[in-house]
């Protein structure tokens, strides 16, 4: 389903499990800060809205999207997290660099989640233009950070129930 068919901020709150007593790592890329900070705010506000305490949301910055997987791994190695949310923004440039960064970032984030058997949510926008990124980080298509927080809460509940 394309973003044009789904508003990233719309969801049924009744279908989201409580986050009370759960702890989440939020790893945020510093690259394209305008976008990633908006994603971070959306994720944080959603976790709080669903009962996660402020003290149980641990945020860390990494230089770019490629470093998100390492950042998540460093956090999860410490233990005590019910999930991690990786937030980044990769905007296509004039070289194939975009493709390598997108592929490596996606594979790395997935590998960390499988390695630690903890939900690690891929919240990386991969857009052709900055305007598309703005549209998906609080603009006309909503905020992917909200969508990622909902996914983290649902996956943490799924893991807990087995």
Q: Quote the pTM value.
A: 0.95
- What would the DSSP string read from start to end of 36-74? HHHHHHHHHHHHHHTT--GGGEEEEEESSGGGHHHHHHH
Domain assignment present for 54: yes
| Catalytic annotation, pick one of 10, 33, 97, 141 | 97
Domain assignment present for 125: yes
Which pLDDT does position 106 carry in this prediction? 97
Domain assignment present for 7: no
Domain assignment present for 72: yes
Which pLDDT does position 45 carry in this prediction? 98
CATH of the domain at 42: 3.40.50.960
Q: Write out the chain's pLDDT in tens, 162 residues.
A: 465 667 888 999 999 999 999 999 999 999 999 999 999 999 999 999 999 999 999 999 999 999 999 999 999 999 999 999 999 999 998 888 888 999 999 999 999 999 999 999 999 999 999 999 999 999 999 999 999 999 999 999 999 998
Compute, in degrees rounded to 10, the torsion defined by CA atoms 131, 145, 69, 3: -50
Residue 60 sits in which domain range? 19-161
Which pLDDT does position 8 carry in this prediction? 81
Which pLDDT does position 4 carry in this prediction? 63
- Structural contact between residues 68 and 29, judged by C-beta atoms closer than 8 angstroms: yes
Residue 50 bears catalytic tag: no
Number of domains in the chain: 1
Which pLDDT does position 6 carry in this prediction? 77
Domain assignment present for 2: no
Domain assignment present for 3: no
Domain assignment present for 91: yes
């Amino acid at each position: 389903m394309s973003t044009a068919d789904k508003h990233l901020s719309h969801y049924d709150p009744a279908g989201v499990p409580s986050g009370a007593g759960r702890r989440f790592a939020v790893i945020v890329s510093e690259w394209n800060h305008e976008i990633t900070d908006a994603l971070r705010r959306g994720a944080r506000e959603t976790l709080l809205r669903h009962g996660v305490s402020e003290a149980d949301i641990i945020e860390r910055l990494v230089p770019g999207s490629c470093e998100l997987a390492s950042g998540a791994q460093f956090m999860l190695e410490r233990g005590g997290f019910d999930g991690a949310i990786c937030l980044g923004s990769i905007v296509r440039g004039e070289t194939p660099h975009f493709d390598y960064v997108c592929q490596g970032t996606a594979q790395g984030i997935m590998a960390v989640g499988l390695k630690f058997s903890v939900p690690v949510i891929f919240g990386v926008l991969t857009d052709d233009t900055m305007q598309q990124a703005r549209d998906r980080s609080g603009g006309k298509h909503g905020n992917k950070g909200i969508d990622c927080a909902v996914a983290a809460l649902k996956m943490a509940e799924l893991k807990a129930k087995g």
